[in-house]
Amino acid sequence: MITLNKETIAIKREQDVVFFRNRVNEYAEKIKMGLVNKTKLLTAASELVRNMLIYAKEGKVICEIVTISALQTGIRLTFIDNGPGIADIDKAMTDGYTTGKSLGLGLPGAKRLVNIFDVKTVKGKGTTISITKWKNG
């Protein structure tokens, strides 16, 4: 996978979410991603950035335009935080599991909305989640 364009956005407070989402929107438009895929990507991004703010207080997101062939470009977002980590990742990935009193759909939902979903989490150290959405597919 080759990276064409890269940028890091710091997430520290609620206001950063809107800025971040607008930025992802711009990236998606730049590669002419269709409306449905774009909405799915934005929604997944929104879930993960919210989790970051709620459970890890702050973090950063690396936004990249990536390509694997002349035909397939996409957007990869990597959410990095130094929060408490996710204690039981298998449980966290199931629908309805929440340690708060929310719907518990963020992680599993985000996974269903993108093409590649990759989590690395270390208890007490932090969480890194990377998602990729292709322009087509």
Partner 1 sequence: MALSIGQLLQKKSKTVLESWINIQLQDDGLKEELLSNQEIRKQSEEFLHSVISILKKEDSQNTESPEFEKAAEILTEISTSRAMQGYTPRETGVFVFGLKEAFLSVLEKEFKDSLVPYADSQKINKLIDALAILTFETFISSREEVILRQTSEISEISTPVIRVWDGILALPIIGTLDSARTQVVMENLLMKIVETESTIAILDISGVPAVDSLVAQHLIKTVSATRLMGAECIISGIRPEIAQTIVHLGIDLANINTKASLAHALRSAFMMLKLEVRKTVEKPKF
Residue closer to partner 1 (CB basis): 38 or 76: 38
Candidates 14-22, 24-32, 67-75, 94-102 — which segment interacts with ligand ATP by CB under 6 A? 94-102
Size of site (CB under 8 A) for partner 1? 26
Candidates 51-59, 67-75, 87-95, 129-137 — which segment interacts with Mg ion by CB under 5 A? 51-59
Member of 11, 28, 66, 113 binding partner 1 (CB under 8 A): 113
- Cα torsion angle, 94, 51, 57, 125, sign: positive
- Cα torsion angle, 78, 79, 85, 90, sign: negative
In whole angstroms, what is the distance from residue 66 CA to residue 49 CA? 20
